[in-house]
Chain A
Amino acid sequence: MSGAKILMGNQACAEGALRAGCTFYAGYPITPSSEIMEILARRLPAEGGAFIQMEDELASIAAVVGAAWSGAKAMTATSGPGLSLMMEGLGYAAITETPCVIVDVQRAGPATGQATRVGSGDLMQVRYGSHGDYCPIALCPWSVQEMYDLTIRAFALSERFRVPSFVLAEESVGHLREAVVLHDDFEMPERDRSQGRQPFGHELADGVPPMPAFGDGANLLVTGSTHDGWGYRRVDSPAPHAELVGRINHKILDHAGEICELDARLLDDAEVAIVAYGFTGRSSLAAVKALRQKGVKAGLLRLKTIWPFPAEQVAALGNSVRWLLVPEMNMGQLAGLVRQHVNCEVVSLTQVNGEVIEPATIIETVLGRKS
């Protein structure tokens, strides 16, 4: 790898944010994500951006959304307890269609849990944690390289679709040190700040209206209440609510094919497939390779995009294998969803002891089951 550096995952995330054009960070310190904040506290002001440590995570996500409407590519980073506080602001970002990036470096929950230990327990929270119906995007990195790549992609997708986008990482990748190439090989959509068309309108086919910024002279009317295309509150009639909520969901769900990235390994002849995301994908790939050496036709489908859920691809996989294993560092949050989409048997491997799932655990689970 030419130009490779040895960095920690959280460092690569901060580098990715800067390379993506992030000019604003607001956050509150929390283990195991604080390195992202500390790096950007130095780098953003030096590179013409703005950084602020807020009084809590309620304020952090609020400041991020305020900055995004001032035209910035804005982000925050946190972990479970902070994410819980950000849920109201996440819903606000969703209904106001505000592009922003939230990095969740997951630790073992619930509540304070084990602050320095790993977990994947925020999977459903990032999807459903705020009230009402909305559709965030969430990407799951398995390596330091992907902490860089997927942070950039989270910015690109949030700009493309005007939607809050997550980098749903885990402590084990946030604090992992390995080689990463800080490349410029990506495309970043330009935010459409044109005026004259409704900034919350439904007329565009892809469901993503233009978004002028504060100071552009657009006399913007931004509200978290149900609103019409120009932003006027419409809080007591059925059609505006149905149209708005329908559109902010469909603009994501209808583009799942464009958004969802998958990493398929050794699936062509697989009889058992592992469906994994995040750091568990590493253990799963090691397990698949070891199982192949033992003669088990195993494969891996790694969900680099977890939300929107790549339902079609998972359903197709279920039709091509005998059974699926879903290893997770939680009590089986994804396994239940996989079961809803496949016809084959789904085995849920759960581990909530604050440690990563070792390949041996996955191998034993596969070998222990008569296929």
Chain B
Amino acid sequence: MTRSLSDWFRVEHTAFCPGCGHGILLGAIIRAVDDLALDRRRLLFVSGIGCAAWIPSPNIKADTLHTLHGRAVAYATGAKLAKPELNVLVVSGDGDLSSIGGNHLIHGARRNIDMTVICANNQIYGMTGGQTASTTPLGSHTATEPSGSKYRPFDLCALVRAAGAPYAARWPVTRTRSLIDSIKKAVRIKGFTFVEVMSPCPTQFGRRNRFDDVTALYDHINELCIDRDQAGDLSPGQLAARIVIGEFGDE
């Protein structure tokens, strides 16, 4: 069955670069909330700063709060506590949520206040021009680590799970059905839930790491993905460079 989702949109085009994964993620979020048949009046999208923070704002026609760099979870906490009937979805990027906002992210998970955080992980700072993120893979080239990142990236799902989140999931934007299902599941679960979405950035990450066209970067990320059921067969060394996808928690 086809359906029109146009009533969910405030604008007719997004500001995303050609090949950016964020548009696919936007579509997945809209399909998820539309499937859930949530009361739009009670739907609040909160975002921080960066490309991913523009996924809900201004695109999605619902209440949106586009906040400061890193602080989206803190703003969402206040909005939710003051009006508990709101369904709160935080949509922001990896640098926003886990670098400058890392403290708010882990405390959000610890408190387990009911909200869903969707983290668009493009493994780099997109809007500011391709600098290293706390999620940049070891050895990847960035504007601030031109000879390759020297530091390990966060495993964000493990981080929020360790901090107390009852549910986390990780999917590339290309696994759209799984992604939509995880967003729906995350929204339904009462508590702090986390969906990490590998969203390729051809403009910054791809360009600096010799993925000369968009599909090459998508292929690369898809090849790195390994279902969590199969990940157990690999050694920690083999796993370090892979992206373990699937659901974590709330089994």
Contact = CB atoms under 8 A, between A and B. Distances in A.
Nearest to A89: B68
A215 B83 contact: yes
A213 interface: yes
A317 interface: no
Main secondary structure of the interface of B (DSSP, over half): mixed
Given A59-B104, A59-B107, A63-B74, A70 B66 contact: no
Given A221-B58, A232-B58, A24 B81 contact: yes
Interface in A186-240: 213-225, 231-233
Chain A interface bracket (under 10, 10 to 19, 20 to 34, 35 or more): 35 or more
B107 A214 contact: no
Interface in B28-74: 40-42, 44, 46, 57-58, 61-68, 70-71, 74
Contacts of B85: 215
Residue from B61, B71, B79, B107 whose CB has the most chain A CB atoms within 10 Å: B79
A66 B78 contact: yes
A23 interface: yes
Chain B interface bracket (under 10, 10 to 19, 20 to 34, 35 or more): 20 to 34
Contact of B67 (A64, A92, A219): A92
Interface in B69-96: 70-71, 74-83, 85-86
A59 B66 CA distance: 15
Nearest to B56: A221
A92 B30 CA distance: 28
B79 A70 contact: yes
Interface stretch (A12-20, A49-57, A248-256): A49-57
A66 B76 contact: yes
A53 B80 CA distance: 14
B66 to A, nearest CB: 4
A301 interface: no
A356 interface: no
B64 A67 contact: no
B41 A225 contact: no
A174 to B, nearest CB: 24
B71 A219 contact: no
A222 B10 CA distance: 14
A222 B61 contact: no
A221 B80 CA distance: 17
Given A63-B81, A215-B42, A55 B104 contact: yes
28 contacts: A50-B82, A54-B74, A55-B74, A58-B104, A59-B77, A59-B103, A59-B104, A62-B68, A62-B75, A63-B77, A67-B82, A68-B78, A69-B79, A71-B82, A213-B83, A214-B79, A214-B83, A214-B86, A215-B85, A219-B40, A220-B63, A221-B57, A221-B64, A223-B58, A224-B67, A224-B68, A225-B66, A232-B58
